[in-house]
Amino acid sequence: MTVTLDADLLALQEMRTAVTNAKEAQLRFMDFTQEQVDRIVKAVADAAYEKSGELGELAVKETGMGIAAHKKIKNEVGSKAVYESIKDLKTVGIVGEDKVNKVVEIAAPFGVIAAIIPTTNPTSTAFFKTLIALKTRNAIVVSPHPYAIQCTNEALKVCDKAAVTAGAPEGLIQCLTMSSMEATQQLMKHHDIDLIVATGGGGLVKAAYSSGKPAYGVGPGNVPVYIERTAKIEKAVENIINSKSFDYGTICATEQAMVVDRNVLELVKRELKKNDAYILNDEEKALMEKVISPIPGKVNPKIVGKSPQLIAQLAGIHLPEGTRVIIGLETEVGKNVPFSLEKLSPIFAMYVASDVAHAKELCLSLLNLGGRGHSLSIHTETDAIAREFALEMPVSRILVNTMSSIGAVGGTTGLMPSMTLGCGTFGGNITSDNLTAKHLLNSKRMAYGIKEVQLPKHTETQKQTEEAQVVSNVIQKMGSNDEVDPEMVKDLVSEIIKQLSK
């Protein structure tokens, strides 16, 4: 008789074994010096960077999303750029000392980290999370997206081989290879998991928050981009189309809707055409809406990370040759307005703003629909307007005169290179930062006494005086009845005070 083992049980066992191995390895890793840690991290970053192109191709082949050459760039950011940003960070032992106030800061790892990886950026996110975990002497157990198991696992094999060769304990880097939602859910609740870093769909992020474990999660990024009237239109449109078409729009910080000042609308349209963007007519827009969102309020997963040509084919629309981005003119914002949703594909909504105040209203509506806390992009030569948006918009990143997709992750800006972008309390997250190594550290503080505090002394005389005052007040309230025995009242008050002080 042939015995068939239950796939879910096998996945659960794989998860439990992975956590056990990671825990044992992390305990050994605790004894490593800063020099040993840094050597391991550099080796992993170098190996990941070297395989960026190969793994980019594998990611596209497995997921069917994005562009291999662009995945390569993301892998390079997730490896080399991340390494350069954290290489000098002290993460072992005493990492800071305030000699004036006599406070010593000591770094301690969290332990074992559960990392949830998305299908849109599977290999680059795996590199990034592994590097920041190893830099802080943590172990990592990765749960890949079901549609990206092979490429995520291969990325982690590259990291693991480089780490062990550089002297890391075997078992620090673990990957779950069996697609199981139950195993992922149980991973996040496992007693030996100390932190969850969840990058993915809203359901998984909510599950991470409700697991009972500390968790970093990220919200959606329905990013508006405002082209203000003083912007350098030619450069602004070039940046926007380059950003929107990058890896077919799979970075969560990619622009989703253009808000164009009416005074420069015709200039913008001209530049859009020059940059191979196609503006749909009314009939084509209606067809595209059905493809974007067949079910009201939900984006069709078949368009995510796909080419404009494939998406147009789904809608029965013919595009000019070389089209990079599809644009639909829109006036409304809402769950039932497909073009206003976060589409994670080379499809744009375009709104026309009558002035700056109107532009802010449109941007706020788009953010409230599904992007609060994430990012906003603006192209302007008026710094005061950029600052006005920065002060008023409920976002964690305001990208000025750059590609939002790559700028938000630190590619074209001075922001920390990261593949996990916090949305702050605007978006229900604990941090508004670009997540990095410092977020995976406990900071212990040793503080010497430097101030003297004089505490008031409660003498027996004070106690007797207070009791006498209470007795006097009691007798006074009872009236002038001669039958009241002051000694009896005094004894009663003393007994009450004695009982209360126990």
252 is catalytic: yes
Set 175, 252, 363, 423: catalytic member? 252
- Per the rule left: phi > 0, alpha: psi between -120 and 50, beta: everything else, 422 is beta
Q: Decide: 124 and 78 in contact? Cβ < 8 Å.
A: yes
Give the whole-angstrom CA distance, residue 112 versus residue 26: 7
Instruction: Find out whether 109 and 138 touch, Cβ atoms under 8 Å.
Output: yes
List of residues 6+ apart from 402 with CB closer than 8 A: 239, 377, 412, 413
- Helix, strand, coil percent content, the chain, rounded in steps of 5: 50, 15, 35
d(CA 277, CA 237): 10
Number of H helices, E strands in the chain: 18, 15
Measured distance CA(76)–CA(53) in Å, rounded: 9
In 3D space, the residue among 139, 141, 140, 137 whose CA is nearest the CA of residue 107 turns out to be 137
- Rounded to whole angstroms, the Cα distance separating 258 from 332 reads 13
Backbone angles phi, psi at 330, to 5 degrees: -140, 155
Closest among 49, 207, 29 to 116, alpha carbons compared? 207
The region, left, alpha or beta by phi > 0 then psi within -120 to 50, assigned to residue 102 is left
Is-contact 194 174, C-beta < 8 A? no
Number of Cβ within 10 Å of residue 127's Cβ equals 33
What single DSSP character describes residue 353? E
Residue in 397, 343, 337 with CA at minimum distance from that of residue 362: 337
| Tokens representing residue 188 in the block | 């996040």
Residue 256 sits at φ, ψ, to 5 deg, of -115, -25
Cβ-count burial 239-275 (b if 16+ within 10 Å, e if not): bbbebbbbbbbbbbbbbbbbbbbeebeebbbebbeeb
Phi (first) and psi of residue 473, to 5 degrees: -65, -40
Closest CA to 348 of 279, 266, 422: 279
φ/ψ of residue 322, rounded to 5: 85, 5
With beta carbons less than 8 A apart as the criterion, state whether 179 and 190 touch. no
| Catalytic residue list | 252
